[in-house]
Structure 1
Amino acid sequence: MIRAYRAELLSVGQDPRDAPDAVRHEPDGLLVIEDGIVIARGPYADLADQYAGIEVETLPGLVVPGFVDAHVHYPQTDRIASHGEQLLDWLDRHIFPAEKAFVDKAYADGVAAFFLDELLRNGTTSALVYPTVHEQSVDALFEAALERRMRIVSGKVLMDLGPEGLKDTVASGRAETEALIRRWHGHGRLGYAITPRFVLASSDAQLADAGALLAEHPEVLMHTHLAENVRECAAVEERFSDAVDYLDAYDRFGLVTPRSVFAHGIHLSDRACGRLHESGAGIAICPSSNLFLGSGFFNFGKADAHKVRLGLGTDIGAGTSFSMLYTAGLAYQAALAREDKLDPFRALYLATAGSAALLHIADKVGALEPGQEADFVVLDCAATPLLARRTLEADLAERLFAMQILGDDRVVARTYVLGQCAWQRTSS
């Protein structure tokens, strides 16, 4: 089935720092979709005759690719806005007790359904997602994602040093991981990620086995945390006293590869940044959670100097919003705190094609180019009275920046998955 949409179209398929012509903008564009795949895109005047026989739906607003959340925890949904602690104490007090409930598959089903609907409500159509240590938490997420036709990557958390009720063993972690890869990887739009929680949560034996699993399954990702919080970094240094730095604690187990996605990376040495570039691994920047937990501000200048691959993540539930627009606005503020300036088009790139590249799905989503899956969002720059006033007669860059700084879920008018409307804002 062929569908055609007329709208203002915007995408940033490459990092504009490296590609000055990366911004693609059609003020009056036509997007043509067949069986969920973009088959044509360009100015309406150029394509209208070619597709004259196709009914065209006009979309009011700015159409951008569906957002790609490069790091988020679905089991932490109900612990968002939990007061009073930095990372390690926050995990012990709020998160580990909450995650124990995911031993119950029915409970996991309910949270997974709400979580994915909330992603869609915020315009996020693809994500790299942490579940829990429980195999059934992965099943719940993937089942719900398959039903919604979303592009989701996830994998059972490995943590044999976790608290009672929230830990596995080297043997059970391997067996469950291998079973889940067979069951889910490549099924529909789903992908798998080998997921050690972080280097302190696993024994050396489990970290080594995670590296072995990654080598045995080169088609999957590796997803974990890195250099998020000062106290965490000190604990890693104490345990791995012979490591050069935090990244080296992963590297010695074969976990730093082109398919490795590390969340945070706030407190990184120049050596570590150089190694990330050399390996092809990348960082999912999470400014909302970094601010909420008092962890610090990501160093864009250092990462860019070493040409580290970057994406953007909400990191729910330390992150305080599912909105990638809001998260992009916080990334701008985090950059400015270190005297770097994040251009609004680059921020959009990080929230779409940049995160897609980090997740190795840039051939599928992120830029709304012909051949890609037709996941996109309709943004309303007049969603609130303040936004409407601020964007009146503003140019494209100003409108986009205003939505990143002043916007949130209210700006998302519709979310499309594979060319079909998956969520639509109802009038109040």
Structure 2
Amino acid sequence: MNLFHLLQARRAAGGPVRVALIGAGKFGSMFLAQVPHVPGLEVPVIVDLDPQRAKDACKTVGWDEARIAATKFTADAAKATAGDIEVIVEATGNPAVGIRHARAAIGAGKHIVMVNVEADVLAGPLLADEARKAGVVYSLAYGDQPALTAEMVDWARATGFRVVAAGKGTKYLPAYHDVTPEGVWQHYGLTASEAQSAGMNPQMFNSFLDGTKSAIEMAAIANATGLDVPGDGLLFPPCGVDDLPHVMRPRDKGGVLEKSGVVEVVSSLERDGRGVFRDLRWGVYVVLEAPNDYAADCFRQYGLKTDTSGRYAAMYKPYHLIGLELNISILSAALRKEPTGQPKSFRGDAVAVAKRDLRAGEMLDGEGGYTVWGRLMPATASLQAGALPIGLAHRLKLKNDIAHGAVLRWNDVAFDADDDTVKTRKAMETAFGGAQ
């Protein structure tokens, strides 16, 4: 990719890449851990609701006192767009806040790396379009699974392969959709006290378990790559890496997919709870189809595991390193003016589904909570149904009773049509809803 060489050339010319980080949680801390080891990269501003927590995070990940003393720690997000900051990293995880920060960055002429996938799925196509018109880069975050998967899809297409399926692995059982923060830790093999002592947020970790995060990430991949979304939502088929070419192919070819060219998540658990052999829980994959007999012969000659026809094969990364890899996005934006994945259309949506029977008057508590989980839907189906995005299903009061397992709709909740986040989402739907 040549990024390190470009960075050193930039450094020799006397101009480091200067970054502002907004949100010093786990992802942000992992990024900060790498900063001292990349000459030519500087983070002079860190924004967090708790500046002292951010400073403590820097100490935890190994920053020396001189680097900490030279850094501005603040709760004022406006400081991120000031001065000679070149790239802003949005890592808050809050959709409304993420949209606001992205627009502030774009308005100030700064590149934006959107770790906040929740915000990206809610309004990413619109934000990316605004960034392009402003001459700056809006990018998904390398190290997170959507950007890594988008990279593999691009690799497959650029080399002439047809992409059959792409996505990630996760730990999944159907019963997880109804899990609440109260019961989440047993599924991670932890006690509540152990999780609390480690500073782990039960609602955030539950969003990984209950399927919400998978829906959000697959929507992001679909929007960035143009791949389709399964019509009935994610299947989460149990599948190890050796079986990807067999399982992740169309049904008429012997697999589980409704058609070729879709996003999908594979489970690291069999439906009876047993572990899948050589699972892909921490990784990403792309299943590709040989365009001709010669390429299929090459699959066999070079040892690729294929399906029985020899036409379908898979590539995968067994792990992703989250924030430890984020510099790839930052340097790509600053030095090459290229994103590491970017939404170009509105093909996938993550919508709110009731975890139990809900009653009118109840307050929704968002992803990973006690009331709803996020399900993947084709954007066209979501718009036709008037489905409520999971990114907005927080602190909204229900107007109607909702049955367990039902999709919530805009007309089921009391919302403020003048709210900036709601208006942004509606503008995105208007601008991109017909572009499939």
Calculate the TM-score normalised by the size of structure 1.
0.27
Q: Higher relative contact order at CA 8 Å, sep ≥6: structure 1 or structure 2?
A: 1
Calculate the TM-score normalised by the size of structure 2.
0.26
Is the strand fraction higher in 1 or 2? 1
